[in-house]
Amino acid sequence: MSILPIAAAAAEIDTGDTAWMLVATALVLMMTPALGLFYAGLVRSKNTLNTFMMCIGAIAVAGVVWALIGYSLAFDGTGSLIGGLGYVGLNDVTFIPREGTTIPHLLFMAFQATFCIITAALVSGAVVERMRFGPFLIFVALWSVLVYSVLAHWSFGGGWLAAGGTLDFAGGIPVEMGSGFSALAAALVVGARKDYGRQALLPHNALYVLLGAGLLWFGWFGFNGGSGFSTGDPSVLAFVNTLLTPACTLLVWFLLDLIRGRKVTAIGAATAIIVGCVLITPAGGFISPGWAMVLGAVGALPCYAMIVWRPRTRVDETLDVLAAHGIAGFTGILFIGLFASLAWNGIADGLFFGNASQLGDQALAALVTPVYAFVMTYALLRVMGLFTSLRASQHDEAVGMDVVQHGEEAYPSGEGAILVLPDADGEALVADPR
């Protein structure tokens, strides 16, 4: 989110900006079910619903926690490390715009809520197919306060990174690096799936993966295009870059797939869409369209390498949140320091345009954010593990989380299912087959 020039002391609401931000907020909220679809396709069929439900659960829990306390800690005041309690329970969050914006404060809060929600949902990718649903929801509640709100304050809410000059247009720090490095910690604490490294654990529906990626890309236009909080130039630049960068990432991913396996893969393409969108997230409103295309092409390389290398390790970071979000966000944040252009963003130049100190500001965030996200998430899950079992038993994991956690199947045949009718006493009664 750019550090917007404060034009007038009492900003007025702009109807065009407000209309766009209403749409952008809805677009970003849609990204969380889209992520559910993307993730659900990548797991085995017996865990389809549980995987999707982790994303739906994040909407429920992170949405409520954000309104109650998270928003206040992230966006109240300009404390260096953490915000204040002035907006707890949405106190004082009204139609009057926040300083520097031209949209209702309430709408600003809702837009930011959708960011917190999808970030929490992203972390689930590290622990699918084995983490129990209840502890996951508790984790989301605590994580969205302890990790997301803090990082959002540092980068968006006037905390020390933003005050020090670090640029992050749409969330390379709290969303992408925050989720990616937290995912690594979560995978380490929860542990690998019991069959990991012993059996081939394959995606069960590549179409869901492609459809989910497509919907995520669609929503990302709201995510990046809305992060200027207006219909002004930075928003337009970020919006267009959200088209160009992933397209370049796709092309390079095709080439890498060809070199590695002589075939262009569909799930690889879906992954490339996500990686490209993540790459441009921090840099969207700061770099020229030409450099955005370079970012998409160059940024594909470390992420592709990570995705190829990670499954050879013992770390079952199941859906590669670290590679697709952590590494891509890291790359995007650093890229700002190299190629940000005052002519395009009106704020700052990067190293290649003669401003070396910007790279220093970006590198600081790229070092501190992963450490904070990893350490806090690791500690949080370790403490939670003292009070409850984070993962399902081996037996439950073998049967599948859909039946065990939710009592449903994604693909019920209905064969052999006997209808149960309650009788007058509320006792279960098996229906007479005649």
Partner 1 sequence: MKLVIGIVRPEKANDVLEALYRAEVRGVSMSRVQGHGGELDRVETYRGTTVKVGLEDKTRFEIAVSDEFVQPAIDALCDGARTGEVGDGKIFVIPLERAVRIRTGESDQAAVTPVAK
Binds partner 1 (CB under 8 A): choice among 19, 96, 258, 398: 398
Place of tokens 């540092």: 154
- Determine the Cα–Cα distance for residues 300 and 282; give it in Å rounded to an integer: 15
Among 395, 423, 426, 432, binds partner 1 (CB under 8 A): 395
Alpha helices of 66-191 — where are they, by DSSP H? Answer: 71-75, 105-123, 133-143, 150-155, 160-163, 178-190
15 in contact with partner 1 (CB under 8 A): no
User: Segment contacting partner 1 (CB under 8 A): 134-142, 275-283, 377-385, 407-415?
Assistant: 407-415
- 256-260: which pairs have CB atoms within 8 A and are 24 or more residues apart? 256/300, 256/301, 256/304, 260/308
Q: Residue 49 or 173: which CB sits closer to partner 1?
A: 49
Choose which of 138, 267, 363, 403 interacts with partner 1 (CB under 8 A): 403
What's the closest the beta carbon of residue 50 comes to partner 1, in angstroms?
14
Q: Which residue has the tokens 């267009």?
A: 240
Quick one: 232 or 396, whose CB is closer to partner 1? 396
Distance separating alpha carbons of residues 271 and 411, to the nearest angstrom: 25
| Interface segment toward partner 1; rule CB under 8 A; list 175-183, 325-333, 334-342, 399-407 | 399-407
- Of 354 and 407, the one with the shorter C-beta distance to partner 1 is 407
Report DSSP letters for 371-406, one per residue: HHHHHHHHHHHHHHHHHS--B--HHHHHH-HIIIII
Which one of 343, 416, 427, 434 is in contact with partner 1 (CB under 8 A)?
416
Q: Which of 12, 415, 425, 432 binds partner 1 (CB under 8 A)?
A: 415
Look at residue 100 and give its three-state secondary structure. Answer: coil
Q: Which is nearer to partner 1, 415 or 425 (CB)?
A: 415
Got the DSSP string for 307-321?
HHHGGGSS---TT-H
- Other C-beta atoms closer than 10 Å to the C-beta of 116 total 28
424 part of the interface to partner 1, by CB under 8 A: no
Size of site (CB under 8 A) for partner 1: 19
Per CB under 8 A, 386 contacts partner 1? no
Nearest approach, Cβ of residue 397 and partner 1 (Å)? 9
Rounded Cα distance, 54 and 39, in Å: 10
Taking the least distance from each CB to partner 1, the nearer of 92 and 408 is 408
Q: How far is the CB of 49 from partner 1 (least distance, A)?
A: 11
Nearest distance, CB of residue 211 and partner 1, angstroms: 23
Checking phi first, is residue 191 left (phi over 0); if not, alpha (psi -120 to 50) or beta? left
Q: How many CB atoms lie within 10 A of CB 20?
A: 21
Which of 164, 412 has the CB closer to partner 1?
A: 412
d(CA 340, CA 282): 11
Nearest approach, Cβ of residue 6 and partner 1 (Å): 52
Q: Taking CB under 8 A as the rule, does residue 202 contact partner 1?
A: no
Q: Which of 400, 401, 405, 410 binds partner 1 (CB under 8 A)?
A: 400
428 binds partner 1 (CB under 8 A): yes
What residues pair up with 131 in beta bridges, in sequence order? 391
Give the whole-angstrom CA distance, residue 250 versus residue 304. Answer: 11
Q: Which of 419, 423, 425, 426 binds partner 1 (CB under 8 A)?
A: 419
Considering the complex, state which of residue 80 and residue 394 has its C-beta at the smaller distance from partner 1.
394
Nearest Cα neighbor of 301 from 257, 261, 266 is: 257
Rank residues 354 and 416 by Cβ distance to partner 1 and give the closer one.
416
Q: Which residues bind partner 1 (CB under 8 A)?
A: 195, 199, 395, 398-400, 403, 407-409, 412, 415-420, 428, 430
